[in-house]
Structure formats: C-alpha cells, structure tokens
Amino acid sequence: MILTVSSAREFIPEFNGNKEAVLAEQIKVTHAAPTMSIKEKAMPHAFDLDGSGNFSTHVEIDRKRVIKAFDTKLTNLGYEKPVGESTVKGPVKVTGDNKVIMKIVTAEDLFNAPVEFDPLIDELYTYFQNLLNTKVDEKN
C-alpha cells in the first residue's frame, strides 16, 4: 500500500492573538512531517533497572528537544530591545530609533528569547506531541 504524505507542514499558533492577525503578519511555523526517526529523537525512552531485576521505563519531558526534532522554522516572529542592552545571538535588524529587532527563526532562537515566549513554546510542544501520538486510522 502506498500512502501519500506531505514531507513539510505548516502550523499557525494561537499565541498572542496570532490567528486574528493580518494573514501576512501571522506567525507561521514550518516543520518536517513526523517520522519514526523524529519520534525517537524527540521522545527517547529511558529504562531503569532495580536490584531485583525489575525495570521501568519513562520519557523525559524536554520541550526544546521535541521542538528542535521537527527542524522547526518560524516566520514573522521577533521582539524589540534597546541597542547595546546585552550580547545577543541570532538574526537581528537595527531600527532607526536605536532599537534592535531580534528575529526568532529557529527553535534555538525561540529558547534564547525572553520568558514572554513560554506560552508559545508550550503551544508548540503540545502540537508536536499530538502529532507524534496521533494514531493512523487503519480502516483506510
């Protein structure tokens, strides 16, 4: 049986009223389609063995690992800060009013951003977890 599956996907988060924003200004998240390789990277299983030979398994919650596993790229996302406030990483754009616009393009940029972006990280983590845990309808 041959299934047709898109190798790239796009997600529009609800973060900060994003879905109500003008289409050209909406935050867009493009990412790889879920694969078993991504699932293993995002959710590695750890096994614990006790002295009696009994073992248990658990999965650690690592939001960064999950979001990065999907080769996540963000569009139309950033924040503004004064020039010279601190050393910064990632793509920047200097404006005429002595401010720097820090662009958030990758998962790494997102995790280096201020804590105000934590709800977006939670939303992306939940979205990707749902993709990884979706069951295929075997009746098709």
Please report whether residue 1 resides in a domain.
Answer: no
pLDDT tens for 13-39 read 999 999 999 999 999 999 999 988 898
Please report whether residue 91 resides in a domain.
Answer: no
73-75 and 99-103 strand pairing: unpaired
pLDDT tens for 109-123 read 999 999 999 999 999
Q: Which residues contact 29 (CB under 8 A, 6 or more apart)?
A: 10, 11, 12, 13, 72, 73, 74, 75, 124
Query: How many domains does one find in the chain?
Result: 1
pLDDT tens for 37-86 read 898 888 877 777 777 877 777 667 899 999 999 999 999 999 988 776 65
Please report whether residue 140 resides in a domain.
Answer: no
pTM exceeding the 0.75 threshold for the entire prediction: yes
pLDDT of residue 52: 80
Rounded distance, CA 48 to CA 44, Å?
A: 13
Rounded distance, CA 63 to CA 91, Å?
A: 22
Rounded distance, CA 5 to CA 7, Å?
A: 6
